[in-house]
Amino acid sequence: MLTKKDILFKLFISTFSLSAFTFGGGYVIVTLMKKKFVDEYHWIEEKEMLDLVAIAQSAPGPIAVNGAIVMGYKLCGLLGVIVSVIATIIPPFFIISFVSFFYHLFKENRYVAFMLEGMQAGVGAVIVGVVYEMASGLLKEKNSFYIVIMVCSFLANYLFKINVVIIILICICIGIGQSLYRRRAL
Amino acid sequence: MIYIQLFLSFLQIGLFSFGGGYAAMPLIQNQVVDIYHWLSLAEFTDLVTISQMTPGPIAINSATFVGMKIAGMPGAIVATLGCILPSCILVTILAYIYIKYRHLKTIQDILKVLRPAVISLIAVAGLSIITTAFFKGNAISFDMLKIQMVIIFGICLYLLLKKKANPICVMLLAGILNMVYGILF
């Protein structure tokens, strides 16, 4: 069994490295967290991970930081929150301090530009891979109601640009409605 | 005092930026450029460019960048703390409620509806990154398609799904492949 100290140490190292390599915004870090904590360490289940993402998403603030907070709290309580938040903000803190100093050199270097351009395709592939795994898990449950929710929220966000917070609130209302309806039916 | 001003300003950014990332940008611009004049508009544009080129959330990047410029290292620390404080409090409370009450029937029902929606939201984020990666100037048309990026994407997806490759290695490999392509052609 891992002791709490081991978990805190691993938590620090993994949130630190995820934050240091996460180009392209909060969702990338969330998908990488799924790979690390669900697939590799088996510390939490995939369903719990999705719940944690919903929490990270429904509060204000950067998703990467929020994701680190929920993950830290789930694994080690308040101490976990402190450890994972510090690990998440150290890399951007030092990178920005450094890059803002050499900004012009950095901006005009064409190798850096090629590297960053190519990494977008890699980031896209990481997200598509995780979405594919999670969506096929959901399809296997063969529950048409949840599939309709998935398709509708996709269309609402992608085509109609409806704000994420509103989509989450609507889903919460649907869940409450469903729960009340079931109780009455019993 | 400048430290308190920095702290309060980034506290507001942390508190009111829902949806993360680019949703926070107008808010940051308003505080940093329009209200306090800590950065000029050109400097703010540079900041956005730097944020796109480096890892890390744009709100944290701005806090570090602005704090450093206005009041050095202590300024950067104060601004970053202000930026994450609302998240730390609110998200911890939500996580506490989740862990305490998730076994309740109603909460279970709500979470079951939320999970498919969250998968979709991640998918949308992925699609917008792919669109930026595949098409020049974000114009979705066939002659704007960058074929090499589609091929790199395919290789990465194969490595991830079939070979269970480490995602960070895959991202770095994608960058290196494109650099090699850029040098050769």
Q: Give residue-wise pLDDT tens across range A61-71.
A: 888 899 999 99
Rounded to the nearest angstrom, the minimum Cα separation between A109 and chain B is 12
Q: Which of B29, B55, B30, B26 shows the shortest CA–CA distance to B44? A: B29
User: What is the spatial distance between Cα B64 and Cα A13, in angstroms, rounded to a whole number?
Assistant: 22
For residue A83, the enclosing domain spans 4-108
Residue of B nearest to A172 (CA): B110
The per-residue pLDDT of chain B, averaged, comes to 88
- Asked whether residue A184 is assigned to any structural domain, the reply reads no
A17 burial via Cβ count (<10 Å: 0-12, 13-18, 19+): middle
- Asked whether residue A182 is assigned to any structural domain, the reply reads no
What is the complex's ipTM, to 2 decimals? 0.81
Q: What single string gives the DSSP state of each residue in chain A?
A: ---HHHHHHHHHHHHHHHHHH--S-HHHHHHHHIIIIIIIS--S-HHHHHHHHHHHHHSSS-HHHHHHHHHHHHHHHHHHHHHHHHHHHHHHHHHHHHHHHSHHHHHH-HHHHHHHHHHHHHHHHHHHHHHHHHHHHHHHTT-HHHHHHHHHHHHHHHTS---HHHHHHHHHHHHHHHHHHHHHH-
* Interface mutation target, options A16, A37, A117, A182, chain B, most CBs of B under 10 Å: A117
Contacts of B102 in chain A (CB under 8 A): 51
Report domain extents, chain B: 2-101, 105-184
Sign, Cα dihedral of B39, A29, B19, B96: negative
User: What is the spatial distance between Cα B99 and Cα B26, in angstroms, rounded to a whole number?
Assistant: 34
| pLDDT for the residue numbered B37 | 93
- Asked whether residue A9 is assigned to any structural domain, the reply reads yes
- Asked whether residue A92 is assigned to any structural domain, the reply reads yes
Residues B141, B142, B143: CA angle, nearest 5 degrees: 100
B127 contacts chain A (CB < 8 A): yes
Per-residue H/E/C for A10-37 = HHHHHHHHHHHHCCCCHHHHHHHHHHHH
As for how many domains chain A has, the answer is: 1
User: What is the spatial distance between Cα B126 and Cα A69, in angstroms, rounded to a whole number?
Assistant: 23
What's the pLDDT band for A57 if we cut at 50, 70, 90? confident
Chain pair A-B, CB pairs under 8 angstroms: 346
Q: Hey, which residues 112-151 in chain A have their CB within 8 Å of chain B?
A: 112, 114-135, 138, 146-147, 149-151
pLDDT exceeds 70 at position B138: no
Predicted confidence (pLDDT) per residue in A136-180, tens digit: 988 998 899 999 999 999 999 899 988 877 888 899 999 999 888
A157 contacts chain B (CB < 8 A): yes
A169 contacts chain B (CB < 8 A): no
What's the pLDDT band for B128 if we cut at 50, 70, 90? confident
A154 contacts chain B (CB < 8 A): yes
Percentage of residues in chain B having pLDDT higher than 70: 96
The per-residue pLDDT of chain A, averaged, comes to 88
- Asked whether residue A117 is assigned to any structural domain, the reply reads no
The pLDDT of B10-23, averaged and rounded, is 77
B91 contacts chain A (CB < 8 A): yes
**B56-94: b (≥16 Cβ within 10 Å) or e:** bbbbbbbbbbbbbbbbeeebbbbbbbbbbbbbbebbbeb
What's the pLDDT band for B97 if we cut at 50, 70, 90? very high
CB neighbours of A118 closer than 8 A, spacing ≥ 6? Answer: B149, B152, B174, B175, B176, B177, B178, B179, B181
User: What is the spatial distance between Cα B78 and Cα A149, in angstroms, rounded to a whole number?
Assistant: 42
Radius of gyration of chain A (CA): 19
What's the pLDDT band for B11 if we cut at 50, 70, 90? very high
Structure tokens that stand for B8 in this block: 């309060």
- Asked whether residue A84 is assigned to any structural domain, the reply reads yes
Predicted confidence (pLDDT) per residue in B163-180, tens digit: 888 888 898 899 999 999
A175 contacts chain B (CB < 8 A): yes
Contacts of B94 in chain A (CB under 8 A): 55, 58-59, 70
B178 contacts chain A (CB < 8 A): yes
Other CB atoms closer than 10 Å to residue B136's CB: what's the count? 12
Encoded amino acid at B27, one letter: L
